């Protein structure tokens, strides 16, 4: 009876366990390794995008929480919105890009002159 306990359901003796791990990536083809690397990279990008969206939400909540105390603070809020707009599809027109850049330059120049 003791002999039955050392056999699996197929009647075979099970393989011995070892502490040594096996790097499965070495046993797969290059295409499979690239596919795995791509999946891992994609998962990292998705995680980073999720973290970025959370940080943007926190920043926007902070920006909305209180009115600007002065013009430089108001300009910072507007700068954030303009940068969001600059990355949108509607802002890809070169004229709009120039306008956004000009407004951001104005904010920078006026903030420097008001702090002097």
pLDDT of residue 116: 67
Q: What is the DSSP letter of 13?
A: P
Is the pTM above the cut of 0.95? no
pLDDT of 4 > 60? The answer is no
100: which 2 tokens? 């956004």
Query: How much is the pLDDT for 5?
Result: 59
Lowest mean pLDDT among 28-32, 42-46, 102-106: 28-32
Domain boundaries, the chain: 21-65, 68-116
**pLDDT band of 21, cuts 50, 70, 90:** confident
List, in order, residues 6 or more apart from 26 with CB less than 8 Å away: none
Predicted local distance difference test score (pLDDT) of residue 8: 72
Neighbours of 75 (CB within 10 A): 20
Residue 95, SS3 per DSSP: helix
Please state the φ and ψ torsions of residue 37, each to the nearest 5 degrees: -60, -40
67-109: pLDDT as tens digits: 989 888 888 999 999 999 888 888 888 898 898 889 888 888 8
Give 45 or 113, the one with higher predicted confidence: 45
99-105 — which CB contacts under 8 Å span 24+ positions? 103/78, 104/79
């Amino acid at each position: 009876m003791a002999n039955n306990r050392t056999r699996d359901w197929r009647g075979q003796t099970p393989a011995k366990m070892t502490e040594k791990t096996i790097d499965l990536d070495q046993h797969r083809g290059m295409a499979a390794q690239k596919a795995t690397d791509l999946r891992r990279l994609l998962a990292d990008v998705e995680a980073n995008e999720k973290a970025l969206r959370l940080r943007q939400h926190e920043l926007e909540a902070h920006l909305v929480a209180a009115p600007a105390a002065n013009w430089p603070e108001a300009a910072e809020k507007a700068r954030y919105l303009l940068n969001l707009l600059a990355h949108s599809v509607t802002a890809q027109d070169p004229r709009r890009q120039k306008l956004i850049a000009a407004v951001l330059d104005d904010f920078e120049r006026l903030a420097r002159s008001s702090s002097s």
